[in-house]
Amino acid sequence: MQELSHWIDGTNVKGSSGRFADVFNPATGEVQARVPLASKDELDMAVAKAAEAQPQWAATNPQRRARVMMEFVRLLNRDMDKLAEALSREHGKTLPDAKGDVQRGLEVVEFCIGAPHLLKGEYTDSAGPGIDMYSMRQPLGVVAGITPFNFPAMIPMWKFAPAISCGNAFILKPSERDPSVPLMLAELMQEAGLPDGILQVVNGDKEAVDAILDNRTVMGVGFVGSTPIAEYIYSRGCANGKRVQCFGGAKNHMIVMPDADMDQAADALVGAGYGAAGERCMAISVAVPVGDTTADKLVEKLVPRIENLKVGPYTAGNDVDYGPLVTAAAKERVLGLVNSGVEQGAELVVDGRDFSMQGYENGFFVGPHLFDRATRDMDIYKQEIFGPVLTQVRAQSYEEALGYAMDHEYGNGTAIFTRDGDTARDFANRINIGMVGVNVPIPVPLAYHTFGGWKKSGFGDLNQHGPDAFRFYTRTKTVTSRWPSGLKEGGEFHFKAMD
């Protein structure tokens, strides 16, 4: 069985804690590797090595740092198939979805090539008599990222690419469920020319997380995961004087107006609700049609699309719609929530509980589910399911539909499908959610904008990637200078004695 490692100071380093976690093949349920779980001492050692390397990297001019990112982009494109296959093998995503995971991270790296421009400060000459004033953006030092299982390529790159481009050293604590791709990314960064110690990958669990939060050298922490853990990391990190940004759970609503194109809306809901087996924070998990006629039409369109979804392992071809969930525990949780929906009175229109795949009976596959006539008090509505389950709640008016999204505790993403510009504009302006789609079901911003949710989906005042990332990973220093000059006294024609 393969035994994975950490990546410290530019090389693979075996774990020394004696603790390991199993890495599964989600399609078969078999253990395919073991990953070491770092102790506090191992984490602290990685931070110390990063702190030694960081000052020289910060002193490297931004153009040279950007050239490392340019080469990293080239290497990502070169190894795209290799990275996607490794990602699919550990996560369970289809290969096209895995390539999309890598691609959306790559796009942020491309944005970071513009770091020399993004790091420019401000300058005022003659702010006072003979006084000039200027500001500069300087790196924090050593920063860290704690990233989730569902995007093992994209989110690590969203974190470390801007941080490193700003001149920081970075400690990456990826998910122990699918750690191979983050380790591969670290090797590619070294091949691209990154100095040893600037990107450290330390595998671990809560012990490693707490070590990051308590280490006084780590100046900033970014996290993506569930809301309870986001709240924990945010509060403990801030209490320790760190700059912290945390992104938590989601329950994304898609409002469907009576004037919407129902085929387009149904296609959007199926792709956004069941893609990646629903294991993404931007998945649409709640459909909110306005009016019973709209709701009935939408269900009529959805049912055949959902029943025709192809579920299978990534090895079954590119026409597979989604694969297994990441672990047996994830499967058990999703099916438990489905059962709760039935018990609490929702109408289970498409029932995937008996789904089984010949030859993969021990895999973590879950069939697609569709609920109708759910209500606010049901667990399937309140909780983030993170599985292939779409829940429909019925609204009798636009205002009621708006209220469903606005009143929910999560505020990550939302969408509206309509042909009416006035309704769409009102929705975009009034909704209290961080990312909004108008006839776009998954409104993930491109790399030069920022990604972040509101309410209990986001903690901290700066978002991921885009200009906010460069603000988060730097701090501003302002210099006021005056240079006394003797030029007005006339020229000197002889050597003056040194005092």
pLDDT of residue 499: 47
Task: Give the residue from 330, 260, 271 showing the smallest Cα distance to 298.
Answer: 260
- Catalytic residue, chosen from 112, 166, 246, 281, is 281
Q: What are the beta bridge partners of residue 221?
A: 144, 244
Please tell me the distance from the alpha carbon of residue 393 to that of residue 490, in angstroms, as a whole number: 84
Count other C-beta atoms under 10 Å from residue 461's C-beta.
11
pLDDT of residue 128: 85
Please tell me the distance from the alpha carbon of residue 3 to that of residue 160, in angstroms, as a whole number: 25
pLDDT of residue 130: 85
Enumerate helices (H) and strands (E) in the chain, giving the number of each: 16, 23
Please tell me the distance from the alpha carbon of residue 388 to that of residue 309, in angstroms, as a whole number: 11
pLDDT of residue 1: 82
Our answer to whether residue 281 is catalytic in this structure is: yes
DSSP label at residue 393: -
Reported residue count of the chain is: 499
Please tell me the distance from the alpha carbon of residue 330 to that of residue 324, in angstroms, as a whole number: 10
Domains for the chain: give ranges and CATH numbers: 2-248+457-481 (3.40.605.10), 252-438 (3.40.309.10)
Which long-range contacts does 295-300 make (Cβ < 8 Å, 24+ apart)?
A: 295/372, 295/392, 295/394, 297/262, 298/256, 298/262, 298/265, 298/266, 298/269, 298/392, 299/349, 299/370, 299/372, 299/392
Please tell me the distance from the alpha carbon of residue 257 to that of residue 422, in angstroms, as a whole number: 12
Per-residue pLDDT 10s for the chain (499 aa) are 899 999 999 999 999 999 999 999 999 999 999 999 999 999 999 999 999 999 999 999 999 999 999 999 999 999 999 999 999 999 999 999 999 999 999 999 999 999 999 999 999 998 888 899 999 999 999 999 999 999 999 999 999 999 999 999 999 999 999 999 999 999 999 999 999 999 999 999 999 999 999 999 999 999 999 999 999 999 999 999 999 999 999 999 999 999 999 999 999 999 999 999 999 999 999 999 999 999 999 999 999 999 999 999 999 998 999 999 999 999 999 999 999 999 999 999 999 999 999 999 999 999 999 999 999 999 999 999 999 999 999 999 999 999 999 999 999 999 999 999 999 999 999 999 999 999 999 999 999 999 999 999 999 989 999 999 999 999 999 999 998 765 555 556 665 554 4
pLDDT of residue 493: 64
Task: Give the residue from 248, 237, 184 showing the smallest Cα distance to 214.
Answer: 237
Neighbouring residues of 197: CB distance < 8 A, sequence distance ≥ 6: 8, 9, 10, 49, 50, 52, 53, 54, 169
pLDDT of residue 233: 98
Say if residues 140 and 219 touch (Cβ distance below 8 Å).
yes
C-alpha torsion sign, points 119, 122, 125, 126: negative
C-alpha torsion sign, points 464, 23, 98, 439: negative
